[in-house]
Structure 1
């Protein structure tokens, strides 16, 4: 028997056959019993939970020749005709393929005529959220003033896409996912009637994979039954659905627990060779660690999962992890699962995710563990001591910068070109004072190297640098693209900015580190970063700027040369320039 034949054979024909929606069935039966059937219903819920089936049973109940009846008899001509689809007054429409205004206008024209075969005309519109705006507007008029002999039943999985005016004119019923136990009971009933042998673990596995959809559960049952030749085993269910066997789960969890990165890659390769997709493996592994966490935090909860075959072994694995580590690993896998949907190399990304789990260290993330594994055995105490020293040095450096110590004294002899400035204004956007650190940039070397082979090559690849910066931090890219790479000299990139605020933001230590790292990777050698205002660079190129040959140009916070004092402006003008840049600020005198 094919899947479609099996599903149709077990499709509910009466309300009592429905699974998991008793609260809805009781409400509809009471409405029929009291002759208070509404003119419009909205059935909302996940796929495969019985929305369309309930609509058809309701159509039979209100049109049954022995009713209206709370249960259709399925014996009269009306019930049999509706079941077979022969009654023209009961119309099922797929809104995904009939979503235009013309189809809804056709319905609006026909509802005026009385039914010819049964008591009520029933229009079942499936996937109603697919209708166009114009179609919704045409349907709205009919819902506002419906004839007494017409019932509309709208079914959808996405009610938020429906206009509020449509929803407010319907009685809304929210279908819920069918519980795991209810699904298992129905699947066992099907197996018993169809003569299919099964394992309890296999039925639980199929029910869990259907995610609350009874239709999907029956589909998987038929698929596994056809694969295994009539008998349903856990092994055959796992093979058909592309899942991971319990032993493969255990081996992966064991490698992650022992931080054995060398064992992870062969396991992933064996999964790929056996036809397991990376996204399915990631999903199953996420569920596996979730089950470990549930068993860890609620050992008496008796949570049923499809992977708990050997409970004692599973319990031992759960005890080998701390809850904090499980929480962090689930979070890591969740982030990588989102990236996996758009990855061009999903298996590689899956391997990276597992390697990150292997190098994860509680309280310190993956970085400490990674460095410890690479170094071959640095103790936790040594790593913590190094972190404390780094934190202390960072605090001292922050205090020095705050107090206005010049960068030249701190970078002298560091091995990097003196042209790379360490710049800190010491004030915010609205801050005052002139106690910020000044950067000295000698432009002569850059003027000489502006058209050198190194500068031309760097400018050719600068677009790639901007793209990488955008991928890593899009806000930094928004500031950095204002700067133009004008020259490269002595391992330092000189950027000329039109706007001083963009220049200031780019020179923040954390931003500088990102730019220098990416530029060094893409350009092939280590590079520092220096900045200058565009007008100063242009003045130097034209030979009309303040710096003579060999002269050092000293730049202040606003990028103005110290050799020529700018005319004094009112404080509010200075603040406007800081906020919007000199190109956007125009000062006019009013007589």
Structure 2
């Protein structure tokens, strides 16, 4: 027979062989012993924690006639048939590939028939969260009122995706992550049975890398056995898992605490040259920081978590580093971990990380108490600035008290930001050099043309691009360009800094008008001022041009008659009713 993976060969066949789920197995055995068997169960939990194995063992036990303390005998014909997968009354379904309504309806129709060999028909539906909404609805009625000889066992790693109506009709069992100590004992037992030599430290590395999943642990153990020719060594375990030695992590952390950037960078390069995975290194470093933080609070708990592989150097380091530094390091590690997922140059990110965390400082309050972060020169500068601010405040108060009656009071130092000084980010990027040439040739005909095709242009954009442009509209246009105004300045800034958006607009205009006019963005609240300034500055030039239907020519008349507009109440009323843009004021 061909070679089988360890997790298949050593799959539990009895409840007592399921590792780390004693509460669940005891509950299921007691239900079998007392004949209090439910019609539907829901097994939830992380991958590799024994959900499917428990379902198969329960299917055997419920049909075994030779139960002993709730355990199947594994010797009778029914148990053997289930172990070999040839009993038609135990049906395993993968919901990931059978998630449609038709498959569930087929089950609903077949549950009416009595089992052929066993006492119960058992349906094991794995990854049940993959069922469609229609499939869940089709399953609902069957779960609510199933035949007496049918049991459903649903297994999933994502219970939050299962409708509450399904969960309420089942007995729910939450499988927990398996403790590293339990995984270690199980691996040692399997290797002893196989007469394979192993290093205790190697098994501890594998148990930690499995992250609570027994199947993952056995898969890594399989790889280590293949790599080491049926010998499990510490070095092989590190190579297979991609982990960094505890000694190297401690050395790196000591260099960080000592703020020895150069040595830390050399250590990082050594780790990468050894073929270690950058993401794995960040994970190991995060776990190391967690251990240091927890060790400062409860050393015994960390000793149990790390399976007793903590050395004296680690314990000494835990007393040297502050919890504030650990918090900052973990934040930096989280950011780098996200960045590493999308880069082809992990060495750059690790080097940047090293420089940043070797320059971390504690919070200001702690720095003040230790005196390590603020030197005497900084203290002197701060004192000098504080005295200068106090003196300025006193002078302002003196000016207030001596100011003549009837004049406005001077503002406080904290209020020295008048509206004229307030920064307007939208103003600083207005491209007048591009706007004026367009205004010089702008016509009403061109503007009406662009307004007519504007909805078609918007439909050619992506959804995020349309969300930016939905409050914009052309306000002036010529044969060579179009000026687009935005109602909100922050959307104007977003559009101004998005070259892809401009490319999309130019491509769309190329298809609609067979040319690529220049597109200039402006905030709508600045448009009247820009237009007025242009007309005033180019008044003589515009008057010398023929009287076509251009916008500047029409607007020039408005500039000439500004005083009249202010003087005539009827014109003011017309502006209030219809707006200035459509008025054409002519002198009698």
Q: Is the 8 A contact 2:486 2:524 kept in 1?
A: no
**How many angstroms apart in 2 are the aligned matches of 1:534 and 1:391?**
44
Tell me the distance in 2 between the aligned counterparts of 1:222 and 1:33.
Answer: 37
Alignment of 1:329-348 (within 5 A): 329-348=329-348
- Residue of structure 1 aligned with 2:532, choices 539, 554, 567: 539
Residue in structure 2 matched with residue 410 of structure 1 by the alignment = none
User: Which of the pair is proportionally richer in helix?
Assistant: 2
Contact 1:100 1:132 in 2 (8 A): yes
2:209 maps to 209
**Is contact 1:199–1:233 with CA below 8 Å preserved after alignment?**
yes
Q: Secondary structure at the match of 1:26?
A: helix
Residue 27 (structure 2) aligns with: 27
Distance in 2 of aligned mates of 1:102 and 1:228: 49
Distance 1:212 1:97 in 2: 27
Q: Is the 8 A contact 2:204 2:307 kept in 1?
A: no
SS at match of 2:337: helix
Residue in structure 2 matched with residue 288 of structure 1 by the alignment: 288
Q: How far has the Cα of 1:502 moved from its partner? A: 3.3
2:114 aligned partner: 114
Give the direction of change, closer, same or farther, for the CA distance of 1:180–1:503 in structure 2 (3 Å limit): closer
**Distance in 2 separating the partners of 1:324 and 1:93:** 50
Residues 2 and 222, structure 1, Cα contact 8 Å, conserved in 2: no
C-alpha distance 77-498 of structure 1, shift in aligned 2 (>3 A): closer
TM-fit CA distance, 1:180? 2.0
Check 1:219–1:385 CA distance in 2 against 1; reply closer, same or farther (3 A cut). farther
Report the Cα distance in structure 1 between the residues aligned to 2:63 and 2:525, rounded to whole angstroms.
83
Which residue of the other structure, out of 389, 394, 402, is the alignment partner of 2:415?
402
The corresponding residue for 1:382 is 377
Residues 448 and 93 of structure 1: is their aligned pair in 2 closer, same or farther, counting only changes over 3 Å? closer
Matching residue of 2:259 = 259
Q: 1:554 — aligned with what?
A: none
Q: Distance in 1 between matches of 2:249 and 2:79?
A: 50
**1:166 matched residue in structure 2:** 166
Paired position in structure 2 for 1:502:
489
Q: CA deviation at 1:141?
A: 1.8
Could you give the per-residue CA deviations for residues 100-122 of structure 1, whole angstroms, max 9, x where no partner exists? 11211111111111110111000
Specify whether residues 299 and 41 from structure 1 end up closer, same or farther in structure 2 by C-alpha distance, changes over 3 A only. closer
Are 2:358 and 1:358 equivalent residues in the alignment?
yes
Q: Which shifted more, 170-179 or 270-279?
A: 270-279
Aligned partners of 1:204 and 1:305 also within 8 Å: no
Partners of 1:156 and 1:166 lie apart in 2 by 13
What is the TM-score when the length of structure 2 is the normalising length? 0.69
- Cα distance in 1 between the residues matched to 2:563 and 2:377: 54
- Residues 461-520 of structure 1 show CA distances to partners (whole Å, capped at 9, x for unaligned) of xxxxxxxxxxxxx9xx979x9899x9xxxxxxxx99755x738998xxxx9xxx9xxxxx
Distance 1:167 1:277, change over 3 A: same
Residue 346 (structure 1) shift: 3.1
- Alpha-carbon distance between aligned partners in 2 of 1:337 and 1:118, rounded to the nearest angstrom: 52
Do 1:101 and 1:132's aligned partners in 2 also have CA atoms closer than 8 Å?
A: yes
Partner of 2:58: 58
**Could you tell which deviates more after superposition, 57-66 or 256-265?**
256-265
Check the 8 A contact 1:62/1:68 in 2, yes or no.
Answer: no
Q: Which runs of 5+ in 2 are unaligned?
A: 366-371, 394-410, 439-463, 477-482, 498-522, 542-561, 567-575, 581-588
Match of 1:140 in 2: 140
Secondary structure at 1:303 match in 2: helix
CA distance in 1, matches of 2:307, 2:38: 46
Q: 1:65 to 1:355 in 2, by over 3 A?
A: same
1:327 CA drift (Å):
1.9
Once the 2 structures are TM-superposed, how far is the Cα of residue 294 of structure 1 from its aligned partner? 2.2
- 1:245 lines up with 2:245 in the alignment: yes
**Residue correspondences, number:** 465
Paired residues of 2:49 and 2:214 also in contact (CA < 8 A): yes
Task: State how far apart, in whole Å, the 2-side matches of 1:122 and 1:274 are.
Answer: 51
Q: 1:448 to 1:169 in 2, by over 3 A?
A: closer
Q: Give unmatched runs, 5+ long, in structure 1.
A: 366-376, 408-421, 426-439, 453-473, 487-494, 516-529, 549-562, 568-576, 584-591
User: Distance in 1 between the 2:535 and 2:92 partners?
Assistant: 78
CA contact (8 A) 1:61 1:68 kept: no
